[in-house]
Chain A
């Protein structure tokens, strides 16, 4: 294998791949990136941990075809710190890759580096699926859908279906949902894909998808079968296993009746929660008290070790007075995903969930259960 490519392309591709590599003791080759020069004009970087896989293609001038694998950490460290020729500050610098007996020789105008590699024979094959079954969705929306909900996934692996983000559409608007059974986040968009079957994507995979595709533009191609999804955008192809299982029938838990509605300014509420968070106890308890008469929402936190804090913020309140305790973090987590300047808090009563949504924009809904008050 021998080829020439540009440093900034390399840096991006290797950076993306490095995070996907696996730390698998029985199969150490998963720590490697496969560098494959099989066509004339492009070079592929492939990495996988047997759960996820990524292929990044960059333009390159291939002089001799071939492939090689090298330790991802080493090559990434090298490329990202390598200053190369001081004269070309733009990063538009040519780098030559050459394989020599399973070793990778990287050379520039004035440097030469040898990185030990391994035979590409043992590198896993990234499974492909039939891409007939696919949808095209704006990558911004896809990322925003995942971002708005994925922090609500359960961290535990006991129930894989709730440590995943649930994506479904059909006749309904495409919807992203996640829950850890204490809170639930749902984001909807106003279009649907009749051909999309419900998907459960592991939260670990979601974290990587966000990292890889956040900030990109255009439409992402999402193809799927029973076990796997492929995401393709520009030069990047990302694959992930799907979670087997059935997401709980969550719509039944969204309350139909509410006893108190509160509308507050988003910024004021966020800042007040931040301050209150300093004083919340070990369990992050946050007492919320509504004052219907004077239209103030009172937040109260106290900690045995730190102190106490009470703040009242102006709000528009209708319904009954209510006093209820929540986990401060759970309430706070969702607020940045509410896309309107005013937040609507809908209390369903003691021991029942609180619904948080935008006063003007209801595409995002968040449900959180209270804590046992003591």
Chain B
């Protein structure tokens, strides 16, 4: 006999409520439920021994009558004490408020909190992840993966610049999955750690147990996968682990600072597998999102900062959430040392020291980088030659100068050995068209840009 326990209990409670005073009903029937039925005996979960005693001694008749009216097969009731896992939350906020700053300065036993087996940090959850237009797709994909493990998007590949919350997001998936079902075998690790463990296993000659270890998980999260680049042996090993997990429908999530296409030194077969699921990016947050993030962080630290100051910090630091938090920390730290709340000018002074200088690229710098990249002499670029290995870099240089530095066509032409501005326009158009269907060119451009911006940063 299949019984809808929830409905049965709800119907019975309606009946019981008639016979009792409100206070009694509220006290004794709160958090009770039916947990099972066997051979005419209904099992009722109660939150404490007091409730058990009370129900079985005082209200037993009411309860059994109410239940039998609904289902005449019921003969008896067993009461089981099931402690409530939901703690009272009432006074919590008051208490939290009375212990400010404390949590920030006093170090705690972190070992208690890190989930040792899964290597997840419980502070990374979806609740603490601020969603804006810059990351809503990634967030939605992550939520859907957490909900439909192994079936929604497998593998999920999240990429984006440093300090934009990739680690937070992928660990949040892990924590959510653990929370949904503690039985799930989750492992979070960085590609670095994977590499070290692999090398150790080779040294200790126990590669077999290394393989076995990873194959038992049904949810594997690997952070900063770009560090697999150029490590062929590691990639091969990972390839096999990936295949085993994938075949068993185990969920795999990666993060990287660039999409798989642009990770140089990644084997083709691995790259295509990374691309086989879903690829989403996390872009830098816009002003409103930065403000929301910094406001939340300031609140968590329990330190009051005026809206003007928060807005100033959010507008001064644009690219990176981690730096945003760093700036907030130094403002709070300085305020504590000085024992007063800083005004806007003082905050400006602090941030001036911390903020990155604005990136400045010079024409010569771009040309030099391109020459180095294609392994040709700088002066070759200016020569009037139509050698293929020179023409291409020259056109790329022209394109980049136009696209990234917005230098006028005639000036670029002048720079490159008194060429006509139409030559430059032609080069620009040619490269611009090729990007659309030439992956190799695309990749090269990405790498060159990377070098350019990293060096100048």
Q: Which residues of A contact B (CB under 8 A)?
A: 24, 26-28, 48, 50-51, 53, 122, 124-129, 155-158, 160, 162, 179, 181-182, 184, 226-228, 239, 241-244, 248, 250, 252-253, 282-283, 285, 304, 327, 330, 351, 353, 367, 369-372, 374
Contact = CB atoms under 8 A, between A and B. Distances in A.
Contact of B87 (A126, A155, A158): A158
B108 interface: yes
Contacts of A330: 106
B27 A370 contact: no
A101 B322 CA distance: 72
A157 B89 contact: yes
A227 B83 contact: yes
Contacts of A157: 87-89, 91-92
A369 B336 contact: no
Contacts of B101: 282-283
23 contacts: A48-B50, A50-B48, A122-B24, A125-B58, A127-B50, A127-B52, A127-B53, A155-B95, A157-B89, A158-B87, A182-B107, A227-B48, A227-B49, A227-B83, A244-B85, A250-B109, A250-B112, A253-B111, A282-B101, A283-B105, A285-B105, A369-B107, A371-B105
Given A48-B50, A126-B53, A157-B91, A372 B24 contact: no
Given A50-B48, A157-B87, A227-B83, A27 B27 contact: yes
B333 A241 contact: no
Nearest to B333: A374
A367 B112 CA distance: 14
B interface, by DSSP: helix, strand, loop or mixed? Answer: helix
Nearest to A157: B87
Interface in B186-226: none
Contact of B108 (A124, A125, A181, A227): A181
B407 to A, nearest CB: 48
Contact of B83 (A27, A244, A283, A367): A244
Interface string B8-30: 00000000000000111011000
Contacts of A370: 107
Sorted nearest first, the 10 A-B pairs with minimum C-beta distance are A127-B49, A244-B83, A125-B53, A369-B107, A127-B53, A248-B112, A157-B87, A304-B339, A181-B108, A26-B23
A250 B109 CA distance: 9
A129 B57 CA distance: 15
Contacts of B447: none
A156 B92 CA distance: 7
Contacts of B300: none
Contacts of A26: 22-23, 26-27
Contacts of B49: 127, 129, 227-228, 239, 241
A371 B81 contact: no
A122 B87 CA distance: 27
B54 interface: yes
Contacts of A351: 107
Contact of A253 (B58, B109, B337): B109
B430 interface: no
Interface of B: 22-24, 26-27, 48-50, 52-54, 57-58, 81, 83-85, 87-89, 91-92, 95-96, 101-102, 104-109, 111-113, 333, 336-337, 339
Contacts of B84: 244
Contacts of B83: 227, 241-244
A374 B336 contact: yes
A146 to B, nearest CB: 21
A341 to B, nearest CB: 29
Nearest to A303: B339
A252 B112 CA distance: 9
Nearest to B89: A157
A349 to B, nearest CB: 12
Contact of A226 (B26, B27, B81, B105): B81
Given A181-B109, A253-B111, 6 more contacts: A50-B27, A127-B49, A127-B52, A127-B53, A182-B107, A369-B108
Nearest to B84: A244
Given A155-B95, A244-B85, A371-B107, A27 B23 contact: yes
Contacts of A285: 105
Q: Which of A53, A304, A330 has the most CB of B within 10 A?
A: A304
A184 B111 CA distance: 13
Contacts of B85: 244
B410 to A, nearest CB: 57
B106 A369 contact: yes
B95 A156 contact: yes
A227 B81 contact: yes
Q: Which of B49, B52, B101 has the most CB of A within 10 A?
A: B49
A179 to B, nearest CB: 7
